[in-house]
């Protein structure tokens, strides 16, 4: 059996044993000194190497340099046990800090454990377990119950349910049948399904998400950049102050002034800030991923916490973006007969409304029954079906053809129907407002968003109806894509603006916004490229969740910074007046660092209210 040795903990253990052993030979000065020196070099050689490498790169001031200066100085003044104890505590603290950070990162990456190493690929008449990187778009593979879908694809045989929570945050299993699209990272339920791949492993949704998660910390927040600059300025100032403590102590004959300066150096280490601040934002990104929200960089948190205006595209964002027959009102004929007449009448039209009606009718059309088809742009169609002259269209067409009809005002596009000059009724073809949109404005106000705006290319009356139902007081209708960009620029002059769109048609507006949010953007390259945030499941409430996570992260970061600085300041005062020992300073530094790390990890667990 192969035993894995942790050399970091081993060197600390050996050094500690030698340190304890040295205390038993205190009367033997030579052996005492050799044991302590050996203990010191065992535990500190890595610190010396890292410090030397940093100096070669031009980084002369960090916590490693402070520890080396402090401990060597302690040896010079004969405080051998103090020197060893300081380095032991420092390295043990670094080990615990690294362990906590690595465990947190592993737990975050585990949330996004989407990739598969293999795929059950079709080879001839059989399926063979194959390395995932050998698969190509168009290949056929099977997914057994309990397995992850290794590639993006379309089901061509079988049916099942899939756990999509790792991608979308949605806990309810998704039903999958022939024709359903699947994404790598979904977990198969109890059914065996055959899938045709639409991507290679490198371009699958799992790879895109993991790559973005791993690179999220490259885009740093203002706070992170400040801490980096602060550390570079802070350390030289601390060294200068330590020298001043020595000079003033010497001039005014202060007792143990050199030792006090060493305690001051050790106390001043900025470990808690340097470690906990980046970790906090990394946890924020990880928590968002757990909720089905992909945030492309920790810098987005700064904007989210200051967000005052959210602009929504209407179709596909606030509404489902699917035009269906929502209502049939029939006069003198049955609803089914009215639908049939309209389906036949609209058969040759390429208008989206016509296609929606035909899809809803979903029966075979006998083309021989259709004669004299004429489409009037912007109004409707005139057609003969089974020798019946049909007028199908909006109120303009009805009025022009002299049909007496009842003008109706409802949410959606109204298709009026007349046969041989007689009014038969109407169909309502419309989009549907998403359930998650109804309480959206109220929830956004609770997270300090003052202004909600809707932009749409749709008509004034439809936009007015949607806006009134959702309590949106400011909206703009009949806009072209370029108009949306200009309108966003006008609003953006006064505040930080987020734009939420479907991630494909709205790419220019997403780019222009302070924060671009793609709704239901799973599988869309345009969404991931253009957006700062991608909502993996088509749920508007996740926008509010992302703002809450940003506020929680910022709150914990500020607390950690304030706590660390106040604690450091108090310890530095004690050090100046000789009321602290070096080992006490190290214990305090390690304690503050571990507390800050544990506090940062709360972001992953704390309930988002």
Q: Active-site residues: which are they?
A: 313
- Helix/strand/coil for 520: coil
C-alpha distances in angstroms, 534 versus 98, 208, 406?
31, 12, 45
Query: In terms of Cα–Cα distance, which of 352, 280, 289, 351 is closest to 558?
Result: 280
Distance of alpha carbon 262 from alpha carbon 85, whole angstroms: 13
Distance, CA of 207 to CA of 215 (rounded, Å): 12
CA–CA dist 137, 75 (Å, integer):
66
DSSP β-bridge partners for residue 325:
429
CA 246 vs. chain centroid, Å, equals: 50
Which positions ≥6 away from 132 have C-beta within 8 Å? 115, 116, 117, 118, 119, 150, 151, 201
Cα 550 to Cα 449: distance, rounded to the nearest angstrom: 13
Rounded Cα gap, residues 419 and 373, in angstroms: 14
d(CA 70, CA 240): 14
The Cα–Cα gap between 497 and 260 comes to: 52
| Nearby residues of 30 by Cβ (< 8 Å), 6 or more positions away | none
Residue 234 to residue 241: CA distance in whole angstroms: 11
- Pairing outcome for strands 474-476 and 380-385: unpaired
CA distance 12 to 408: 82
């Amino acid at each position: 059996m192969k035993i894995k040795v942790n050399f970091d903990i081993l060197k600390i253990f050996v050094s500690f044993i030698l340190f304890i052993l040295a205390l038993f030979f205190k009367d033997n000065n030579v052996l005492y000194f050799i044991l302590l020196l050996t203990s010191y070099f065992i535990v500190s050689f890595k610190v010396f190497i890292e410090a030397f490498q940093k100096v070669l790169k031009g980084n002369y001031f960090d916590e490693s340099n402070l520890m080396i200066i402090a401990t060597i100085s302690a040896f010079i003044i004969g405080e051998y046990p103090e020197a060893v104890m300081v380095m032991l505590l420092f390295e043990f603290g670094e080990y615990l800090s690294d362990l906590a950070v690595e465990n947190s990162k592993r737990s975050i990456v585990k949330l996004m454990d989407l990739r598969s190493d293999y795929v059950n690929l079709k080879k001839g008449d059989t399926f063979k377990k194959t390395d995932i990187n050998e698969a190509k778009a168009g290949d056929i593979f099977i997914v057994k119950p309990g397995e992850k879908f290794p590639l993006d694809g379309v089901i061509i045989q079988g049916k099942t349910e899939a756990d999509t929570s790792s991608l979308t945050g949605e806990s309810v299993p998704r039903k999958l049948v022939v024709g359903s699209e699947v994404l790598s990272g979904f977990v198969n339920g109890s059914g065996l399904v055959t899938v045709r791949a639409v991507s290679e492993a490198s371009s699958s949704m799992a790879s895109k998400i993991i790559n973005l998660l791993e690179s999220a910390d490259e885009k740093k927040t203002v706070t992170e950049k400040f801490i980096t600059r602060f550390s570079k300025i802070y350390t030289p100032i601390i060294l200068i102050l330590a020298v001043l403590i020595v000079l003033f102590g010497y001039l005014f004959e202060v007792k143990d002034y050199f030792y006090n300066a060493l305690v001051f150096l050790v106390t001043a280490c900025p470990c808690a800030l340097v470690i906990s601040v980046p970790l906090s934002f990394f946890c924020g990104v990880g928590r968002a991923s757990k909720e089905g929200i992909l945030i492309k960089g920790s810098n987005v948190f700064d904007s989210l916490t200051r967000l005052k205006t959210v602009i929504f595209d209407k179709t596909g964002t606030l509404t489902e973006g699917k035009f269906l027959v929502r209502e049939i009102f029939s006069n003198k004929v049955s609803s089914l007969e009215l639908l049939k007449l309209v389906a036949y009448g609209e058969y040759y039209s390429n208008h989206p409304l016509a296609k929606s009606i035909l899809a809803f009718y979903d029966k075979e059309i006998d083309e021989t029954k259709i004669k004299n088809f004429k489409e009037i742009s912007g109004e409707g169609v005139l057609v003969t079906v089974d020798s019946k002259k049909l007028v199908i269209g909006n109120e303009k067409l009805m009025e022009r053809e002299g049909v007496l009809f009842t003008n109706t005002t409802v949410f959606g596009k109204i298709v009026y129907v007349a046969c041989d000059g007689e009014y038969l009724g109407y169909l309502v073809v419309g989009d549907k407002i998403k359930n998650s949109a109804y309480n959206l404005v109220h929830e956004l106000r609770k997270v300090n968003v003052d202004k909600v705006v809707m932009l749409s290319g749709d008509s004034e009356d439809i936009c007015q109806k949607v806006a009134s139902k959702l309590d949106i007081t400011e909206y703009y209708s009949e806009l072209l894509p370029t108009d949306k960009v200009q309108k966003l620029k006008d609003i953006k002059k006064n505040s930080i603006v987020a734009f939420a769109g479907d991630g494909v048609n709205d790419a220019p507006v997403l780019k222009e916004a302070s924060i671009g949010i793609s709704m239901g953007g799973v599988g869309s390259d345009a969404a991931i490229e253009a957006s700062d945030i991608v909502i993996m499941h088509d749920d508007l409430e996740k926008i509010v969740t992302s703002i809450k996570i940003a506020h929680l992260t910022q709150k914990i970061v500020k607390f950690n910074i304030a706590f660390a600085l106040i604690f450091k300041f108090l310890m530095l005062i004690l050090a100046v007046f000789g009321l602290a020992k070096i080992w006490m300073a190290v214990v305090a530094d390690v304690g503050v660092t571990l507390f800050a790390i544990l506090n940062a990890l709360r972001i992953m667990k704390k309930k988002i209210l």
